[in-house]
Amino acid sequence: MRTTLSFVVAVAVLGCGSKSTETQATGSGTGTAAGTGAAVAPASTGTHVFVDDADVATVTAAQVASWPRVDTLVPEAARRLGKWQAIYIKGAKPQVSELNKPFETYRDYVPALFPGEGGKISFGLFDPVELGKKGKPALQEDGVLELRIKLAGDTGRGENDHGGGSATDPAELQLKIKTAKGEQILTGEKLLALPREAMPGGGGDAKGWKLVALLEVAGVKTWDKLLLKDAAGLSLTIEHKDLDDKTVPFVKLNRQGSLRFRIFKQQGEGWTPSGDLRALTSIEVLK
């Protein structure tokens, strides 16, 4: 889904197709407008971040220069994106925009604050690669004064989603590729610049790189056997003879900012993943 299309969808979600309401008053240091029950932003400048009505962070325009991810600004218990039941976004206009179950609709995206026009603060949902490049969000709200995150109750929802707020800057990634001639490092900058393609069977916006494309960037055009390792010490051996058009090794930048490797095998009309490495760090050409 291209940015333009995503923005149209976002308008539908945040505009006439969404629920717009005044945020309810809380006891976390905010006042209330007389007779309305609507929360009034604290007097200090910046964007205020709330979790279940608790004021947990104030982000200034200067801090937003680093494009911080919102899930890194909240307490650890609130960092699993799958548990975010809704996001309420308050700007200069009187009505509050609502995103309901945002990371079911935007499953492959991450939330961030970034510099807007005129020194204001904007909020966006970003493809992780686009955020790493400080590119365009799929969804954007400008002049944000408050972000209110509502967590799902004790339903178990989202417990296995997202790694508890860990978020590596993709630009700082380093993928080591070892051959008989020595070791090369494929930097995050080079990775983010590579064109991506749709993940096998992924549909939607899930994109990444075939493993062979990353090897070719490092000058590896022929090989028989590879050893892949991840940050947790797990390893996986791949033999070239086992691969074909229906068995595709694939690498994707995940929401934690790590390189997730899987082998996708076509079975009928679908694709089944196997060989999962969640934070690929090195590839060694054994022969």
pLDDT digits (tens, 9 = 90+) for 112-162: 999 999 899 999 999 999 999 999 999 999 999 999 999 998 655 545 554
Task: Please state, for a pLDDT cut of 70, what percent of the chain lies above it.
Answer: 79
pLDDT digits (tens, 9 = 90+) for 70-101: 999 999 999 999 999 999 999 878 889 999 99
DSSP string, the chain: --HHHHHHHHHHHHTTTS--BPPBP-SSS-EE-TTT-BEEPPSSSSEEEEETTEEEEEE-HHHHTT--BGGGTS-GGG--GGGEEEEEEE-SSSSEEEEESHHHHTTT-EEEEEE-GGG-EEEEEE-HHHHHTT---SEEE-S--EEEEEE--SS-TTTTSS-TT----GGG-EEEEEETTEEEEEEHHHHHHS--EEPTTT-TT-EEEEHHHHHHHTT----SEEEEEETTS-EEEEEGGG-BTTEEEEEEE-TTS-EEEEEEEEETTEEEEEEEESSEEEEEE--
Average pLDDT over residues 50-68: 95
Q: What's the topology of domain 170-285?
A: Ubiquitin-like (UB roll) (3.10.20)
CATH 3.10.20 region(s) of the chain? 170-285
Average pLDDT over residues 179-183: 91
Say what the pLDDT of residue 89 is. Answer: 97
Mean pLDDT for the chain?
A: 82
